[in-house]
Structure 1
Amino acid sequence: MDVIKRLEKLMTMDESSWHRHSNPWSVYSRFSVLPIISLAFWSREWIGGYSVIAILLSFLWVWVNPRLFGVPEKTNNWASMATFGERIYLKRKVEPIPQHHIKPILILQSLTSLGIPVFIYGLWRLDLSFVLAGNLWIMVFKAWFVDRMVWLYLDMKETNPEYSSWLK
């Protein structure tokens, strides 16, 4: 089982969660995750051991976010289609995706992951420049990945009636 499948299982994204996550408010507020986690870890400087509570709450936000907003009335938008593409990508072993998407997606995931050590180092050392650089690096490449998921959805929506039914 690959890492993304494990994360999806941890997130317990069922059909209802996916429909709610296609709400643009859910997608755009997701970009708050890294800054919130950063503040939570940084809070050890201000509140010591109580920062564990802030850290746990920041990870709870990761889990709650896709469930927080209602199912959108309209899904003909970038944010919704990004979640549709992600669903398709996560099912790629069951239903293959076009070959021209695989390499760019892997490159974007690799580039995103390069920011993680910078981010972690910054949090460990409480170095704001490293934390900000890590946040920026990860978010830029994650946004690019999300945009690629839109492209994937647009290429795949006509291949499966379920996929086309997501668009309203």
Structure 2
Amino acid sequence: MNDSHKNALGRATEQAMGMSQATWERHANPWSGWTRVAIFPLLTLAIWSRVWIGWWSVTCVAIVAIWIWLNPRVFPPPQSVDNWMSRGVLGEQIWLRQRDALASHHRHVIRSTITIASVGALVWLIGVTTLNLTATLTGMVASMLGKLWFIDRMVWLQREAEASEPSSNRLPLPFHNTATSHVNLSSTVAYQTEPDLSVDEFIQVLQRSTLSERRPADRSRLETMLRRADLIVTARTELGKIIGISRAISDFSYCTYLSDLAVDQDYQKRGIGQQLIRRTHVHAGLQTTLILLSAPSAQTYYPHIGMHPHDSCWVIRSDQ
């Protein structure tokens, strides 16, 4: 199985578990991560219990399955993510979204961790099916060690992503906790190209920036806008919440049209929009002319970041 197939499997698992951004934020709580580590032994015990309680073991398995679903949801978002487990969860989100940009020294290790965990899980499955205690324990330990090694690599990935950002981009960002209050955390704004950005997250950031008022409401049309764009650059908080997007069309040689620039209202006036514009231009090529049509309320913003007005631009309006 190659890396793209493995990542597609990861995406499918994420969707099957209903891992919304709010769920990821809760899952970043170290209590969620460490109690999840205990799930494998609990599931083993639940399945093995058929030896002692017969069909009542199905109830035990069902309870563990329910806990698997609830685990990323029951703990509040952490007040700090400066710990091994939280950084591992953040790194996993980076891995899911940026598989094509990962350095080779990460890809080989991640492939090894997944292989160890998968082979261990297969041996475990054979063991619990045949009630072979040696195979069960060996497979369980191997799979858990593979998973912990995977998390450790995710920590490394997250720290590299954090270190790659200039200190000027590390801003105190509002963080929503279960008491609906905001506290300031020393967090990093992570910028990346995301050609596979989901339409749900696209809609979320459009709505939170009010740009949705000037964009189509048709979901299928928004999906087409994403898939046919040449360049999508996003800004995310340390917990992976999308707070900004730049969507552009470019020939990567002469001109780049920045069609959509949106920043969550709670995070505006912090330089995020300027960073998105700069990074879009860098990715498209600085030899291209970057073109942008301003919203009426933002016309005074762009001269302050070095953009120049054009007095001979003409448009043919769409009929929809």
Query: TM-score, length-normalised on structure 1?
Result: 0.90
Number of residue pairs matched?
A: 165
Aligned pair 1:136/2:141, yes or no? yes
Q: Distance in 2 between matches of 1:164 and 1:63?
A: 24
Q: Distance in 2 between matches of 1:20 and 1:164?
A: 13
| Counterpart mapping for 1:1-168 below 5 A | 2-93=8-99, 96-157=101-162, 158=165, 159-160=190-191, 161-164=235-238
Q: % of aligned pairs identical?
A: 35
* 2:28–2:239 CA contact under 8 A, matched in 1: no
Query: Which residue identity is paired with 1:43?
Result: S
- 2:199 aligns with none
- 2:271 aligns with none
* 1:156–1:163 CA contact under 8 A, matched in 2: no
- Which deviations, in whole Å up to 9, do the C-alpha atoms of 1:7-61 show, x marking residues without a partner? 1111111111111111111111111111111011111112212222211221221
Query: Which residue identity is paired with 1:122?
Result: G
Q: Which has the larger share of strand?
A: 2
Structure index of larger Rg? 2
Q: Distance in 2 between matches of 1:138 and 1:12?
A: 24
Aligned-residue offset at 1:73:
0.5
Q: Distance in 1 between matches of 2:239 and 2:61?
A: 38
3-state SS of the aligned residue for 2:101? coil
Farther-moved stretch of structure 1 (157-166 vs 114-123): 157-166
Aligned-residue offset at 1:123:
0.4
* 2:25–2:239 CA contact under 8 A, matched in 1: no
Q: Distance in 2 between matches of 1:165 and 1:142?
A: 21
3-state SS of the aligned residue for 1:35? helix
Structure 2 residues not aligned, in runs of 5+: 166-189, 192-234, 241-320
Farther-moved stretch of structure 1 (13-22 vs 55-64): 55-64
Aligned-residue offset at 1:163:
4.7
* 1:97–1:156 CA contact under 8 A, matched in 2: no
Describe the shift of the 1:36–1:165 C-alpha distance in structure 2 as closer, same or farther (beyond 3 A): closer
Farther-moved stretch of structure 1 (64-73 vs 124-133): 124-133
Structure 1 residues not aligned, in runs of 5+: none
Q: Distance in 2 between matches of 1:146 and 1:80?
A: 10
3-state SS of the aligned residue for 2:105? helix
3-state SS of the aligned residue for 1:75? coil
Q: Which has the larger share of helix?
A: 1
Query: TM-score, length-normalised on structure 2?
Result: 0.49
Q: CA RMSD in A?
A: 1.8
